[in-house]
Amino acid sequence: MASRTYTNPVYGPIADPMALQVGSDYYAYATGTHFPILRSTDLVNWRRVGTAFTPDTSPSWSSGNPWGPSVLAVPTSSSRPCPGFDLPVGATCFFLFYTGL
């Protein structure tokens, strides 16, 4: 029997990737301009769906060179709302952690 191999496609340059499953979707966050966000339903085919920051939402304390994002998805509750957002109870709140200068 001939051996078979599989190579997972690479989505261009994506540094320090972090993947997170939310329901049946997967999201990858990466170091790059405003932290690019990719989405997949099968961990093979990815498409860019946006960025974690917009140019006007980068924190003022940062020199503009953040890296190594990590994201947590937490369901909201009446005792734990999503800071800065008016989400209904049970909605998913995303927390982004990263290193910056």
d(CA 91, CA 99): 27
d(CA 73, CA 92): 6
* Residue segments in the chain with a per-residue pLDDT below the cut of 70: 1, 6-10, 58, 64
Check: CB of residue 25 under 8 Å from CB of residue 39.
Answer: yes
- The closest alpha carbon to 74, from 59, 97, 95, belongs to 95
Report pLDDT for 73.
Answer: 95
Report pLDDT for 21.
Answer: 96
Report pLDDT for 6.
Answer: 63
DSSP-assigned states of every residue in the chain: -----------SS-EEEEEEEETTEEEEEEESTT-EEEEESSSSS-EEEEES--TTTS-TT--S--EEEEEEEEE--SSSPPTT--PPTT-EEEEEEEE--
Report pLDDT for 8.
Answer: 63
Tokens found for residue 19 = 């993947």
Report pLDDT for 61.
Answer: 77
pTM tops 0.85: no
